[in-house]
């Protein structure tokens, strides 16, 4: 059974809304519990499909997952056996790639299928694999599985990543955290969820420095311990709700926001002309009509987040003039623009990485389909702006990354229904 959203646009959306825990932070934090045989307690977990599947993956291997509250779990990985892994779950969640580093540390030899995830373009794990090899891990693939042999693994390597890969950085610092010696990772990603993983690993007994920059030094500890850790607020959800507030009538107050995680995003929103106020861990956004065109390029943190680029596109359809959007990372990131064009958006795809957005364009409700997490969120925003009724199909993609987004919006006045089909 699948589900769809039915949304009637042009409704007043106002009130207070709380940002959930970060999906992109929860994945590596759950994976890191494998680094110790002692139990860890994780708080503020977002109840989204990718996170729930990650927990099921650990359980399939023998981990004990005990819910201590609605969003709080105790995870004990003492009896984990990777040979018991439910391989079908790996293909359903890209976040499963983060099991590689911790499993190499704990078990040395194992196999895992290629991870699943969004359809936003080729997402090879070659950066992960090259990093593992620099640390002494033998890796080969027979097409269906990746096989790892870490019997000759060693700390003390110096690794220069071929790209600012978030998940490769996370995998490598998790592996290095349990090895003797100082491992150095250059060209490392520095996103907020990478920094928070470093904090968790330090609490477990590693010594990690430079995590806020792009060169990380890891002094490992072979006896990592269990910890209590709280997931950071999801700055991508905060950015999504921000744009909702900018394009719909009413005043929206977004609470539980770490503002400095959104520095580049908020700078760009000011440039466009969005009317908003910053507060102590909150943002207040007003409906903004006189918007200016701009150029947005996705860049590694602290640059404009690639996952907020699709979110900004509906906003730019209401700016007076021509805007340029550029995502150099994923060649299929902009495919969902065809869905926005069905709604009346005037957007020209220049090449797989760039598009011109011409405004101001009125949008109309129609049947559309979610291609990935952020594309689905973009279509929700467009539907809330549009005249008439929109139907968004394949919303499982949205549920993978946003916790009860329909319920949150409905509580703010949106006319959005979840329907089983």
| Residues known to be catalytic | 118
| DSSP 8-state class, residue 258 | -
Rounded to whole angstroms, the Cα distance separating 58 from 305 reads 29
Residue 322 and residue 316: Cα distance in Å, rounded?
Answer: 9
Nearest to 167 by CA among 23, 45, 304: 23
Q: Torsion angle, CA of 101/104/109/112, rounded to 10 degrees? A: -20
Of 188, 199, 205, 159, give the one whose Cα is nearest residue 35.
205
Beta bridge partners, 17, equal 254
- Could you report how far apart the first and last alpha carbons of the chain are, in Å? 6
Angle at 308 between CA 199 and CA 99, to 5 degrees: 45
Instruction: Determine contact, residues 32/174, Cβ cutoff 8 Å.
Output: yes
Residue 134: strand, helix, or coil: helix
Query: Do the Cβ atoms of 22 and 195 come closer than 8 Å?
Result: no
Angle at 307 between CA 5 and CA 273, to 5 degrees: 90
What order of strands is seen across the sheet that includes strand 182-186?
A: 158-160, 182-186, 215-219, 207-209
Report how far apart, in Å, the C-alpha atoms of 103 and of each of 3, 91, 256 are. 35, 17, 33
Peptide linkage before 302 cis (omega within 30 of 0) = yes
What is the residue whose two structure tokens read 């903004």? 288
- Single out the residue of 171, 194, 230 nearest to residue 46, CA to CA: 230
Closest by CA to 329, choosing from 356, 350, 298, is 298
Phi then psi for residue 283, to 5 deg, are -130, 140
Helices (H) and strands (E) in the chain, counts: 14, 23
Using only the alpha carbons of the chain, give its radius of gyration.
21
């Amino acid at each position: 059974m699948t589900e769809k959203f039915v949304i009637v646009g042009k409704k007043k959306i106002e009130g207070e809304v709380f940002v959930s825990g970060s999906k992109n932070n929860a994945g590596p934090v759950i994976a890191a519990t494998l680094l110790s045989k002692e139990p860890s307690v994780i708080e503020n977990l977002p109840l989204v499909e990718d996170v729930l599947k990650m927990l099921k993956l650990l359980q399939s291997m023998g981990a004990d997952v005990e819910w201590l509250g609605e969003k709080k779990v105790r995870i004990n990985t003492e009896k984990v056996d990777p040979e018991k892994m439910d391989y079908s779950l790996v293909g359903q969640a890209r976040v499963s790639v983060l099991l590689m580093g911790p499993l190499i540390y704990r078990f040395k030899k194992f196999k895992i299928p290629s991870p699943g995830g969004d359809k936003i373009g080729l997402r090879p794990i070659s950066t992960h694999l090259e990093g593992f090899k620099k640390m002494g891990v033998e890796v080969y693939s027979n097409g269906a599985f990746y096989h790892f042999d870490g019997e000759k693994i060693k700390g003390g390597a110096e690794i220069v990543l071929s790209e600012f890969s978030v998940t490769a950085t996370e995998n490598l610092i998790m592996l290095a955290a349990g090895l003797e010696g100082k491992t150095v990772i250059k060209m490392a990603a520095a996103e907020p969820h990478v920094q928070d993983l470093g904090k968790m690993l330090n609490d477990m007994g590693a010594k990690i420095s430079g995590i806020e920059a792009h060169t990380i030094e890891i002094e490992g500890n072979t006896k990592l311990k269990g910890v209590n850790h709280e997931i950071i607020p999801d700055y991508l959800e905060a950015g999504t709700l921000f744009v909702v507030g900018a394009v719909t009538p009413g005043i929206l107050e977004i609470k539980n926001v770490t503002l400095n995680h959104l520095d580049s995003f908020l700078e760009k929103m000011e440039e466009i002309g969005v009317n908003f106020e910053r507060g102590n861990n909150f943002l207040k956004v007003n409906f903004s009509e006189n918007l200016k065109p701009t150029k947005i390029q996705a860049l590694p943190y602290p640059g404009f987040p690639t996952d907020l680029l699709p979110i900004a596109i509906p906003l730019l359809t209401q700016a007076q003039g021509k805007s340029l959007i550029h995502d150099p990372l994923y060649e299929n990131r902009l495919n969902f623009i065809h869905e926005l064009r069905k709604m009346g958006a005037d957007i020209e795809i220049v090449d797989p990485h760039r598009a011109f957005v011409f405004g101001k364009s009125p949008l109309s409700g129609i049947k559309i389909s979610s291609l990935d997490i952020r594309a689905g969120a973009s279509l929700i925003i467009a539907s809330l702006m549009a005249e008439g009724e929109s139907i968004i199909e394949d919303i499982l993609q949205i549920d993978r990354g946003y916790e009860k987004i329909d319920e949150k919006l409905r509580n703010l006045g949106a006319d959005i229904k979840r329907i089983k089909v």
